[in-house]
Amino acid sequence: MSGSKAVGFQSEQFLRLQMLRELDSAIDFARGFLQLRIVLALGSRGPMTARDISASLGERYKAVLDAVRKLVTKNLIAKEPDGGIDTYKLSDAGVEFYRKLVEILGVREHYRVPKEERRMLLSDMAMSITKYTHLADAILALGTSRSNALTLSDIADAMKLSPERAKTYIEMFSDRRSGVKLFKKVEKELKMLKLIAALLKPFGIKMRTAVEMYRLTEEGLTVFYKQPYYLKYKKSLAAKIVTKVFGTAHPRLVLKRMTLVILIAALMSSAIALITHNTATVALAGSLSVASSLLYLGYKAI
Does 108 share its domain with 20?
yes
17 torsion bin: left (phi>0), alpha (psi -120 to 50), beta (else): alpha
Say what the pLDDT of residue 86 is.
Answer: 84
In 3D space, the residue among 70, 42, 71, 44 whose CA is nearest the CA of residue 54 turns out to be: 42
Which residue(s) pair with 156 in the sheet? none
Say what the pLDDT of residue 225 is.
Answer: 87
Say what the pLDDT of residue 290 is.
Answer: 93
Q: What is the CATH number of the domain that holds 191?
A: 1.10.10.10
This prediction has a pTM of 0.57
Does 75 share its domain with 181?
no
Does 95 share its domain with 139?
no
Could you say which of 102, 128, 154 is where a domain stops? 128
Cα(251)–Cα(173) distance, integer angstroms: 23
Could you say which of 72, 107, 128 is where a domain stops? 128
Does residue 35 fall inside a structural domain? yes
Does residue 169 fall inside a structural domain? yes
As a 3-state breakdown, the chain gives helix, strand, coil percent values, each rounded to 5, of: 70, 10, 20
Does 10 share its domain with 29?
yes
In 3D space, the residue among 135, 198, 209 whose CA is nearest the CA of residue 166 turns out to be: 135
In 3D space, the residue among 52, 82, 86 whose CA is nearest the CA of residue 69 turns out to be: 86
Does 121 share its domain with 172?
no
User: pLDDT tens per residue, the chain (302 residues)?
Assistant: 444 444 444 455 555 655 666 666 666 555 667 888 888 888 878 888 888 888 878 788 888 998 999 899 989 999 887 666 788 999 998 888 888 877 766 554 444 455 555 566 666 666 666 777 888 899 999 999 987 889 999 999 999 889 988 888 888 888 766 667 889 988 877 677 677 777 777 777 777 776 888 999 988 888 888 887 787 888 888 888 998 989 899 999 999 999 999 999 999 999 998 898 888 888 999 999 999 999 888 888 88
Does 97 share its domain with 211?
no
Cα(29)–Cα(125) distance, integer angstroms: 11
Q: Looking at this protein, which amino acid is placed at residue 64?
A: V
Total count of domains within the chain: 3
90 torsion bin: left (phi>0), alpha (psi -120 to 50), beta (else): beta
- What domain range includes position 283? 258-301
Does 63 share its domain with 143?
no
Does 48 share its domain with 163?
no
Pairing mode, if any, of strands 48-49 and 183-189? unpaired
